[in-house]
Each structure stands twice: as structure tokens, then as C-alpha cells.
Amino acid sequence: MMQDSRSIVVLTGAGISAESGIATFRGPGGLWEGHRVEDVCTPEALAHDPELVHRFYDARRAALARVEPNAAHHALARLDAEWGGDLLIVTQNVDDLHERAGAKRLLHMHGELQSALCAACGAHMRWLGAMPPGSACPACGAAALRPDIVFFGEMPYAMDTIERALGTADLFVSIGTSGAVYPAAGFVQGARHAGARTLELNLERSAGSAFFHETRLGAAGSLVPHWVDAMLAG
Ligand code: NAD
């Protein structure tokens, strides 16, 4: 039974923040906030049109001030606070709604809007305002700051930690993710191979649905609190 699981890995995607008013990745027309993914989410885009890429992430960063965590973020934060076993929440999201709800055992595998990365020295730093192209790095002085977002073709963060957690998980739960973006889309197979039960909570069947032991369809704002209540009651 799920309730016997001691070690849990939760993967979240854009769908968990949808009810907070943040657009998912590939909405109607395959665009993200009106932009083709290739135009704002690749190292090539950053090299060829830094103005556009920086403006895009500046707008996403500014939009965080107008949204709040929803019931699903709050439920995961409650699981984090009250679950006595191991827990790792891995988010593909670049918003800060998990931490604003109070989650602590959290990793941002695709970076964070409120962080800057120096392309020259590799320093990461908290960044809350606009980031014009050519902003100087406070650590090394190079005019090389970029949004701390993992673009397509770049290596996601903390993969060692994530792989280790997947290898010892009793339960893997995927919430609000389309299963289209690797390596996250492959976590279910890794966890299952290592012996975990696997559960998907999503609005619709994802590309990887067949790999899960169980899929529950619905909005994260109702499915996640219900699942967390059951876990903590067990
Ligand atoms: P995705 O947009 O590809 O898929 C979102 C999934 O969530 C879909 O399967 C959809 O059916 C489901 N969904 C939509 N509304 C839901 C709801 N209310 N409850 C439950 N499920 C819901 O997103 P992804 O799989 O996370 O992959 C795309 C990438 O997009 C990630 O790498 C992420 O960095 C980036 N992204 C992040 C944000 C954010 O930080 N909030 C927003 C957009 C894109």
C-alpha cells in the first residue's frame, strides 16, 4: 500500500502552478506565453537575441508578484513538514510557489526565475528585478549574467541527488507534468525499475502514463490535498 512507503520522491511540473494563474509550457497553439519554445528556451536563442530572451524572463519574474501558491503547493508543504520518512520534491518549475507555501525538501532541477547565473564564472545569485543583457556579475565583474534557467540541451541541476533518491524511493509521484521533457520524463521508469510504486496526478493522461502503476485524473488543487491527507492519515 502507498501508506507503507517511507521514502517518497515527488516530481512537479507546470500543471501544479496552473491554478495559481501561471501558464503551462505548451498551451493552446504550442506556445509559451505567446513565444515559440525555441525562441526563448535555448542557448542559441540567448546568443542570437539576448534582448528578447531577457525580456521574456523579466516578464515571467515580474509576474510572480501577482500569483500565490494554491492548495496543491500548500498540501505538498504540509507533507514536507509532517512526513517522518525521506522526501524529495523535485520541481521542473522555475516559479517560487513551492517555497512560498513552505516546502523545504525541494530541488529546482530546471533553475529559478529569481536567480541569476554568471556565464563567465558560474556563480549563482538571488535576482529579483529586471536583468538587462550584459548585466555585470557581482562575483567576477564580467558582463555575463543570464537567467538561471536550464535551457534545452543544458544539463539539469542536482541530477546526482535526484538519481540517488529515485534509486531508493518506495513511492514516486508525478504531478502536473506532460512527460514530454527529458530527463524528468524518464524518472518514472528509473523509480519503477528500482522498485518504487508509481502514481501520476494530472489533468489528462501524459505521454508516460503507461509507465505508472496508477493514474488519477483531475486538477492538482483537489487531487494533491486528497492524496496528502491519505498519506498522512496512513
Ligand atoms: P507542460 O506544460 O508540458 O505540461 C503541463 C501538464 O500539466 C499537462 O500534462 C497538463 O495536462 C497538466 N495540467 C494543466 N493544468 C493542470 C492542473 N490544474 N492540475 C493538474 N495538471 C494540470 O509542463 P512540464 O511538464 O512542467 O514541462 C515543461 C517545462 O516548462 C518545465 O521544464 C518547466 O521548467 C517549464 N515551465 C515552468 C513553469 C513554471 O515554473 N510554473 C511554467 C511553464 C513552463
Residues 34 and 97 both lie in one domain: no
29 confidence band (pLDDT: 50, 70, 90): low
121 touches ligand 1 (CB under 6 Å):
no
Task: Find the mean pLDDT for residues 19-45.
Answer: 85
Ligand 1 centre distance from Cα of residue 24 (Å)? 4
Q: Can you say whether residue 168 is alpha, beta or left, with left for phi > 0 and alpha for psi between -120 and 50 degrees?
A: alpha
Task: Find the mean pLDDT for residues 187-202.
Answer: 97
pTM: 0.96
Residue 3 pLDDT greater than 70, yes or no = no
Task: Give burial (CB, 10 Å; 0-12/13-18/19+) of 23.
Answer: middle
Is residue 149 part of an annotated ligand binding site? no
Q: What string of H, E and C letters represents the secondary structure of 113-181?
A: EEEEEECCCCCEEECCCCCCCCCCCCCCCCCCEEEEECCCCCCCCCHHHHHHHHHHCCEEEEECCCCCC
38 confidence band (pLDDT: 50, 70, 90): confident
25 confidence band (pLDDT: 50, 70, 90): confident
Cα–Cα distance between 215 and 233 in angstroms, integer? 21
- Exposed e or buried b per residue across 162-180, where buried means at least 16 C-beta atoms within 10 angstroms of its C-beta: beebbeebbbbbbbbbbbe
Task: Find the mean pLDDT for residues 10-18.
Answer: 97
Residues 140 and 31 both lie in one domain: yes
Task: Find the mean pLDDT for residues 73-102.
Answer: 98
Number of domains in the chain: 2
Is residue 153 part of an annotated ligand binding site? no
Is residue 7 part of an annotated ligand binding site? no
Which of 72, 85, 102 lies closest to 12 in space, CA to CA? 72
Q: What is the pLDDT of residues 202-227, one digit of tens each?
A: 999 998 999 999 999 999 999 999 99
Residue 86 pLDDT greater than 70, yes or no = yes
Total Cβ atoms within 10 A of residue 1 = 6
Residues 229 and 138 both lie in one domain: no
Indicate the residue among 91, 126, 149 that finishes a domain: 149
37 confidence band (pLDDT: 50, 70, 90): confident
26 touches ligand 1 (CB under 6 Å):
yes
Residues 134 and 209 both lie in one domain: no
| pLDDT score recorded for residue 1 | 42
Residue 27 pLDDT greater than 80, yes or no = no
101 touches ligand 1 (CB under 6 Å):
no
Indicate the residue among 100, 130, 149 that finishes a domain: 149
208 touches ligand 1 (CB under 6 Å):
no
- For ligand 1, atom 37, the nearest C-alpha belongs to 93
Residues 118 and 224 both lie in one domain: no
26 confidence band (pLDDT: 50, 70, 90): confident
Residues 34 and 105 both lie in one domain: no
Say which DSSP state 35 is in: B
Task: Mark whether 110 is an active-site residue.
Answer: yes
Q: Which one is catalytic: 74, 98, 108, 110?
A: 110
| pLDDT score recorded for residue 210 | 96
Cα–Cα distance between 22 and 96 in angstroms, integer? 11
Cα dihedral 131→134→138→141 (10° resolution): 180
| pLDDT score recorded for residue 108 | 98
Residues 219 and 142 both lie in one domain: no
25 touches ligand 1 (CB under 6 Å):
yes
Indicate the residue among 121, 149, 177 that finishes a domain: 149
Domain CATH code at residue 117 = 3.30.1600.10
Residue with the larger pLDDT of the pair 29 and 175: 175
- Residue-range definition of the domain harbouring residue 30: 23-66+112-149
Q: What is the pLDDT of residues 136-173, one digit of tens each?
A: 999 999 999 999 999 999 999 999 999 999 999 999 99
> Residue 15: phi, psi to the nearest 5?
-60, -25
Ligand 1 nearest atom to the CA of residue 13, by list position: 26
User: What mean pLDDT, rounded, does the chain reach?
Assistant: 95
Name, in order, each residue with C-beta under 8 angstroms of 152's C-beta and a sequence gap of 6 or more. Answer: 37, 38, 41, 42
Q: Where does the chain show beta strands of DSSP type E?
A: 8-12, 87-91, 106-108, 111-118, 124-126, 145-149, 171-175, 197-202, 214-217
